[in-house]
Structure 1
């Protein structure tokens, strides 16, 4: 997305948009937002700085923070009398996959730094948001280790401490803010395009998607695979492997595209509106058993079919709702078969209809009024 907004940054802005219907909201950000971001959420107030720079009104102001907020800034806001809530949808298990940890001279020490900051965020929070019932159970275990005195002194249901807010979307988003396509002809051209609509992080496995594309190409099917998010910082092992896999197949030249320069907001909207399906592949991993990844959002916003591994929270949603196709294994034939399912016009339209039908349940606007009351001390949603 424009100026690097993605993942949990999108969730932050969309939660702010939803909360703004019931409360005055300020979005604290390291930089002034790109004009394309401001155009999506013109009613949001953005302030450059961190939680430590905000002036908390005791007993009224609430700071909702994520996995990258500095503990010192949270502590300062809390000391000023504000309520602090941790949107705990990123787990220490993910830190083990960070390229900076894997490539460190001392990976254990690098991981320990991330873990120490995470535990500080955990101990500082008055309340917690998680994305699923399974995540609530994991959080209960972590709190019983990291903050057992608080667990012992609260209601053992933990409903006073923890509320569930699924991975979802705001009804005010880039798709509704851009009602018309950028041109009469889709930006992606005439061939069907599958999109990898998230980062190439190490807990994902992109190579099976490239293998499947090669399988379809051998069968004479003209399709494309676009990786929509530019690589930032140190290239991950997953990114390097995907590039190498693509370059090793001359027949796929021009058919696999890495959007290294990023897309404008209008371009991204146009691509996602006209894409055939998104692809989200990963090996069996406990991380994905907890809740679906953020890229489910595009299925909800654009009614875009999604291909994912059968195991995991995302695979469970696809199986229950019919909004895409799942694969039991990551071999090329299995992924290619799932792509075939999405290429079939009737099948794809059924998936799109299913995505449209399930979207309302994931709207942040549906959940925010109860979450707002709970953050202010009311009963758990």
Structure 2
């Protein structure tokens, strides 16, 4: 099965959340389908079994060849604005709506003239309606988002008795696929914050803001809280990841406002620092591992209320990094449930200062939050969050024969083993079978022509029957025997090919099951190592003694057990 994945944002060494999402999903889904990933700019990343290329945004012709080859399409919903032709594609269409465009644009254009904002909202409503009419499977990031889109689907007439009869909760129509994180814990690959930013010493506690300074966030209240933090922790350092968006997103007002405020408070380059380069995706672990705590804050608005659990928050789980979060979004709800961060009211300067001081001055509290973060991380690996997409792909048997208006259904709770790979493309298999049928009809050679009528016809028949045919008959009979042998051999080869494909499918399914079990075991090993560390701390005091040299020698350069 050929899956075409299309990104509306840059995918490469330096990329933001949308690019990270499609790249990681493409890598996971390549175990279950033949994947081609397209982005608006050339992709400078390489992964086994993922073919990459680029297209021209808004140019239909640049997508045509790829659409013809695809059996299934997975695209960010925003693409339907520049490429409305995707809505007419006959293939099953998976639309990723994890980022509610209309709500984000309300914040993005909040300071624009009212007519411009009204026009943007009108276009976003039109885009949403186009998305709701076109998708076979919709992806969202949280249950709260799912409720939002269920209401929209109801208004669009997509929730029907027939749909509800086959799937009462409509998980086959709209599935929760959160942002994910790597299954392997982060390891240092180079320098991060320390030793790179002048003014941050080796022992200074670092408060990390590891996202862009988007206008819907709240770095200003954090900067205003820093004098109070510095009074209690004089060497505290706040670092903003403030590099320019790699995809050329619209300029934001907050970066300049944040720098100006830090300068006015005499904090700039003393206690507040701005890292001016967009950090490569593979290097972000170095910045996380250099940090003491992390902070992610926002104002109160609809984008916040319906946002995904943001990629930076999942990185806190990945790195076991204690955090301070604003209340009101899905990340805060997850933090309250699992206890990996301190949750404070939005735009509350006093609460921000006290939460940061608590974490910077209490090793025990930081260790507690870090342990809870690491324990939660395995639930959000990319392999885990992609399961609804894998189940959807496994439900499609002959994509090219599907009527354009036929909706595919699947069980979101279906075990991972049900998603057996399609070793051959269905279209190639159909071409082979049609060729065999044609060969079965045409291999038999008989008389050259049927008898002719009339006086001239009788002369012709006599000439063919008495002279030509007796000369050619032995040759034709020999050729017919040869054709029959070739035909039988090709049928035997086709049957053997089908047998091999079925055996390979079963073998690959077993391999994937073993791979999934191995990943689960790796997660348990991490938890066990953490429990052993805690036990050592309880016995020997804090910090625990270093592991024996044998343990160190048994690990590869990247820190993973060999």
Aligned to 2:163: 154
- Which residues in structure 2 correspond to 1:64-103 (within 5 Å)? 64-71=74-81, 73=83, 75-76=85-86, 79-91=88-100, 92-99=102-109, 102-103=111-112
Q: Which residue matches 2:271? A: 255
Residues 71 and 91, structure 2, Cα contact 8 Å, conserved in 1 = yes
Preserved CA contact (<8 Å) 2:300 2:346: no
TM-score for both structures, normalised by structure 2: 0.60
| Aligned counterpart for 2:376 among listed residues 321, 333, 358 | 358
Partner of 1:164: 176
Q: Do the aligned residues in 1 keep the contact of 2:207 with 2:237 (CA within 8 Å)? A: yes
The 3-state SS of whatever aligns with 1:167 is coil
Distance 1:325 1:126, change over 3 A: same
1:226 is aligned to: 239
CA gap of 1:67–1:3, structure 2 versus 1, over 3 A, is: farther
Aligned runs of 1:175-254 on 2, under 5 Å?
180-182=189-191, 187=196, 189-190=201-202, 191-232=204-245, 233-254=249-270
Q: Distance in 1 between matches of 2:229 and 2:158?
A: 57
Q: Give the corresponding residue for 2:411.
A: 379
Alpha-carbon separation, structure 1, partners of 2:99 and 2:141: 10
Which structure has the larger Rg over C-alpha atoms?
Answer: 2
Counterpart of 1:19 in structure 2 is 29
Q: 1:138 aligns with which of 148, 169, 175?
A: 148
* 3-state SS of paired residue (1:330): coil
Partner of 2:529: none
Matched, 1:55 2:102: no
Distance 1:138 1:23, change over 3 A: same
Match of residue 332 from structure 1: 349
Where 2:324 maps in the other structure, the secondary structure is strand
* CA-CA distance at 1:123 after TM superposition: 2.1
Unaligned segments of structure 2, at least 5 residues: 1-10, 57-61, 396-408, 414-562
Deviation at 1:197, TM superposition (A): 1.4
Distance in 1 (CA, whole Å) between partners of 2:160 and 2:215 is 34
**1: distance between equivalents of 2:189 and 2:268?**
32
Q: Shift of the alpha carbon at 1:358?
A: 0.2
How far apart are residue 32 of structure 1 and its match?
Answer: 1.6
Distance 1:21 1:207 in 2: 44
C-alpha separation between the residues in 1 aligned to 2:358 and 2:49? 41
Structure 1 contact 15–170 (Cα < 8 Å) conserved: no
C-alpha deviations, 1:31-78, integer Å up to 9, x for none?
A: 1223xx43xx455321112683453468x72221114314463634x5
Summarize deviations over 1:86-133 as a string: whole Å, max 9, x none.
11111121110114x632462211332233233323322111111222
Structure 2 Cα separation of the partners of residues 239 and 90 of structure 1? 22
Distance in 2 separating the partners of 1:210 and 1:227? 10
Alignment of structure 1 residues 102-113 onto 2, 5 Å? 102-104=111-113, 106-113=116-123
How far apart, CA to CA, are the structure 2 residues paired with 1:261 and 1:160? 41
Structure ranking higher on relative contact order (CA contacts 8 Å, 6+ apart): 1
CA distance in 2 between partners of 1:265 and 1:167 (Å): 15
Separation in structure 2 between the aligned mates of residue 278 and residue 185 of structure 1, nearest angstrom: 15
Q: Deviations over 1:133-192 (max 9, x none)?
A: 2211110111122x21564652253222111112322437xx75x654448976564222
2:183 touches 2:378 (CA, 8 Å); kept in 1? no
Matched-pair contact (CA < 8 Å) for 2:177–2:388: no
Cα 1:184–1:118 shift into 2, 3 Å:
closer
Q: Does the aligned pair in 2 maintain the 1:280–1:307 contact within 8 Å?
A: yes
- Aligned mates of 1:300, 1:15 — CA distance in 2: 19
Q: Does the aligned pair in 2 maintain the 1:216–1:222 contact within 8 Å?
A: no
Counterpart of 2:131 in structure 1 is 121
Which digits, 9 at most, give the CA deviation of each residue in 1:289-311, with x for residues without a partner?
Answer: 33422322211322222211133
- 1:85 deviates by 0.9
Choose which of 295, 307, 313 in structure 1 pairs with 2:312. Answer: 295
- Judged with a 3 Å threshold, the aligned counterparts in structure 2 of structure 1 residues 84 and 229 are, in CA distance, closer, same or farther, namely farther
Aligned-partner Cα distance in 1 for 2:192–2:237: 20
Contact 1:194/1:277 (8 A) holds in 2:
yes
Report SS of the residue matched to 2:172.
coil
Are 1:319 and 2:336 matched, yes or no? yes
Structure 1: gaps (5+ residues) = none
Q: How does 1:271-282 map to 2 (within 5 A)?
A: 271-282=287-298
Give the aligned CA root-mean-square deviation in angstroms: 2.9
- The 1:217/1:54 distance shift into structure 2, 3 A limit, reads farther
**Relative to total residues, which structure has the larger helix share, 1 or 2?**
2
In the superposition, the TM-score normalised over structure 1's length comes to: 0.86
**Other structure's SS at 1:90 match:** coil
